[in-house]
Structure 1
C-alpha cells in the first residue's frame, strides 16, 4: 500500500514539473503598431509614418506579414524589413521592424490595423509550429486640407528649388538659344505629388520644353520626390522682354505654415540692344543715314516733278522702293553661307516689319533649331523662294498699313 502511494506521488511531481517546464518554454511574441505625424491631427495628403515592430523570444524559421489593408490611405513601404538581435529582461529576443509612409485621402477619424504577422517557430528540438501574432490598432483623426491660392496643395517637410541657366539671357548673342533647367525636391512626398510644369508663354519668346523627369528616393524617414524640367528658349523679336516669376506654394508640415518656392523673373535681350525695357533701341547708323539721303534727294525730286516739289513722304516711299531692304540683304548673305540661325533672325525681323507672324512662316526652321532636328533638313533655298513670294503680296489684313501711292498723297489738279 505504501509503495503505491509513493509511486502515485512521484508521478504527480513529474507531471507538474513537465507542465511547468512546458509553460516556461512557451515563447513570448509581441507585435506593436505606432504612428508618427508632424501634428496630432494631420491634414489630408500629409505623410504619416507607420511602424510595425515585433519582438519574438523564439527561433523563427519562416515569417510573412499578411496582406496590409489601409482603406482611405495610399501608402508605400520604406525599404526592406530590418531584423536584429537584442536582450530583454535578461532573455534574447529577435526583433523585426517594418516602416510605411501612409497618406490619408480624405478627412475623418480612422482606425489603422490591427496587423497580422504569420510565424513558423522551432521549439529547439526540431519540432515546428505555426502561429499568428496580431498587433494593436491605432486611431487617427485627419483634418481636411485648407484652402490655398490656386487650389494647389503640397504638404512636405521641406521643398527646395534649383533654377539654372546656361547663359546670361540679358546679353544674348544674335540667334542664341538659352537652356533653363529647374529641379524641385520635396521631402516627405513622392514625385507624383509634385506640380506639373508651368506654361512658359510670351509673344516675344519661342520656348520648347523637354519631357520632364520624375524620381522618388526611398529612405527610412520617408520618400523624397524630385521633378526636373528643362526649356530651350530664344527671342522671336529683336526687342527685349521679361519672363515673369512663377510661384509654387507648399505647406511646411513641421512649422505648420504655408510657404512657396519661386522660379525667378528673367530678362531677355540681345547684347546689341542696350536700351532699358520699355524704351526704344538706340539710334543706329541706318536710322540717320536714311533721313540724310532723303534730304539730298528732295531737290532732285522737286525738279523731276515739274511745277512743284513732291511731298517728302512720297519721295521717302519711292526712295525706299528703290533701295533693297537691309534684312533682305542679310537673308541673302546667310542663305549663301548656309547659316540657318542668321537667316532665321533676319527673316523674322523682315516678316515682323511687313506685318507677318514669324512663328507661322518659319516653323520648319524653328523645329530644326529648337527641337534638335537635323539642320541639314532645312532647305534654305526653298524657304527663301517661298518668303520672297510672300513679301511680294500684301500683308495679312489688319496687320500692316498698305504702302502709299502718289494718288494717296498728291491731289490731282484740274487741267
Structure 2
C-alpha cells in the first residue's frame, strides 16, 4: 500500500476518536427560557414602597404598590407575586386600571397594592414581581412577553418592648366594652355578660392578643372563647362607581370593605360575671399596649375598672336568700303545753298505725303461705295468753282470747269456759 493510502486510512480511523471527547462534553440542548425584562418598548413595571420616614419594624404592615405604564395595546395581563422569604403577603383589592400620562406621553396605568408583614429583623429582599402580557405586534399578531420590577431591599428594625410583652404594631386601635345589664345595679341571682371588642388597622386577627385575665374577690367569672375576624380594606380610587367595582370585588377568603388600604383585625372577648355576696366587687382595668406605626411611639389602650354590685330594693341579699330557703332560718323558742304534747303523740301513733297496716297489707297478701304462717303464730300466741288467764282464774279474758280459735280442742275449751261463766244453758251476753 502506498504511503498516500496509508495516510488516508489513518485519518479515517482517527476522526471518530477526535470527535468523541467533544460530543461527550457538549451539554444536552434545552429550550431557551425567556427571562422577564424590567421594561420593554411601550411597557414598564416598577415597585414603590410606602414609607413612614423610618425603617419598618417586625410584623408592621408595609404597603408596596406595583405600578405599570403602557403605550402599546394589551390583550391579556396577569400579575405574578412570587413567594417572599421573610414576609407574609396580602393582596389589597384588585388591579386598578385608568388612563394616565407620564413624561408627557398618554397611555394606560395599572396599580396593585400589596401588604407585606416582615417576620424578622435585618435586611430583607423583596424579589421581582412579574407581569405576563399578551400584546399585539406591528403585524397585528399576539405576542406573549413578561416584564418585572427590580428587586428591592428593605431594612427591618426589631421591636422595642420588654420580653414577654405582646407586640402589636397598628395604624389605629380601638378598645370598647358593653354590658348586658348595668354592672353596678344587677338583679338578684342573674349573671351579667361583659363584652370587650378590640379592633386594629394594619394587622390581621392572629396578631391580636389573647383574652386578658379577669378575676376579682367576690365574683365568679366564666371566660368564653374569643371571636376573631379579618377584613381587607381597599381605598377607593377614581369615580364612586369605579371605586366600588375595583375595591369591592368578588368575595374571597377575606371580605373586602371600603376604607384605607390594609387589613383590619378584630377580636371580641366575652365573660359571664356573677357576684357571690351582697358586697360590691371591683373588676380591675384592662390595659393593652400597642405601637402606633403612624406616630412611631408606644401607646396604651385602657378600659377603667368597674364596680359590680346588686341593686338594693329595700331588702338585703341575706333577707331575700332566707325567704327563698337558701339559708337556714334561726329557731325561735316556742312554749309547749301538756295538751300540745299529747296531741303530737296521738298524731304520731295514728300515722304509725296506718303505715303498719298499709305495709302489712302490701307485704303479706291474704291467703298466701306467709299469711297462713302469720295466722298460726297469732293463734299460738292467743292460746298461751288464754292458759295464763285460766291459771289466774280470769275466765272472761280467756274467753275473749279464744274467740278466733277454730280447732276442736279450742272449741271444747271455749264451751267449758262459757258454762262456767254463763251457766249450764250456755247463755251469752
| TM beyond 0.5 | yes
Matched ranges for 1:314-353 at <5 A:
327=321, 330-331=324-325, 346=326
- 3-state SS in 2 of match to 1:171: coil
The one-character-per-residue Cα deviations of 1:23-75 (angstroms, maximum 9, x if unpaired) are xxx84111000111324311111111011111111111122123422111111
TM-score in terms of structure 2 length? 0.57
Cα 1:191–1:39 change in 2 (3 A) is farther
Matched ranges for 1:137-152 at <5 A:
137-148=151-162, 150-152=164-166
Q: Is the 8 A contact 1:240 1:273 kept in 2?
A: no
Partner in structure 1 of residue 286 of structure 2:
246
For residues 219 and 264 of structure 1, what CA distance do their matches in structure 2 show? 30
For residues 199 and 112 of structure 1, what CA distance do their matches in structure 2 show? 40
- 3-state SS in 2 of match to 1:45: coil
Match for 2:72 among 40, 45, 58? 58
When Rg is computed on C-alpha atoms for both structures, the one with the higher figure is 2
1:160 CA displacement? 0.7
How many aligned positions are there?
Answer: 264
Q: Is the 8 A contact 2:47 2:150 kept in 1?
A: yes
- 3-state SS in 2 of match to 1:169: coil
Q: Is the 8 A contact 1:215 1:227 kept in 2?
A: yes
Matched ranges for 1:5-404 at <5 A:
27-89=41-103, 91-123=105-137, 125-148=139-162, 150-220=164-234, 221-272=261-312, 327=321, 330-331=324-325, 346=326
Q: Which ranges of 4 or more aligned residues in structure 1 deviate by more than 6 Å?
A: 281-284
- 3-state SS in 1 of match to 2:144: strand
Q: Is the 8 A contact 1:122 1:129 kept in 2?
A: yes
- 3-state SS in 1 of match to 2:324: helix
Q: Is the 8 A contact 2:79 2:132 kept in 1?
A: yes
Aligned-CA RMSD value: 2.7
Q: Is the 8 A contact 1:34 1:138 kept in 2?
A: no
* Structure 2: stretches of 5+ with no match in the other structure: 1-39, 235-260, 329-429
Moved more, 95-104 or 63-72: 63-72
The one-character-per-residue Cα deviations of 1:223-275 (angstroms, maximum 9, x if unpaired) are 1111112222111223221111121000111111111111321111112399x
1:171 CA displacement? 2.1
- 3-state SS in 1 of match to 2:206: helix
For residues 283 and 194 of structure 1, what CA distance do their matches in structure 2 show? 40
- 3-state SS in 2 of match to 1:192: helix
Q: Is the 8 A contact 1:188 1:224 kept in 2?
A: yes
Q: Is the 8 A contact 1:37 1:47 kept in 2?
A: no
Cα 1:63–1:194 change in 2 (3 A) is same
- 3-state SS in 1 of match to 2:93: coil
Cα 1:225–1:28 change in 2 (3 A) is same
Cα 1:210–1:233 change in 2 (3 A) is same
1:106 CA displacement? 0.7
The one-character-per-residue Cα deviations of 1:164-216 (angstroms, maximum 9, x if unpaired) are 12322222221122121211111111111111111222342222333322222
Q: Is the 8 A contact 1:116 1:134 kept in 2?
A: yes
TM-score in terms of structure 1 length? 0.59
* Structure 1: stretches of 5+ with no match in the other structure: 1-25, 275-280, 287-325, 332-345, 351-415
1:328 CA displacement? 5.9
For residues 143 and 183 of structure 2, what CA distance do their matches in structure 1 show? 72
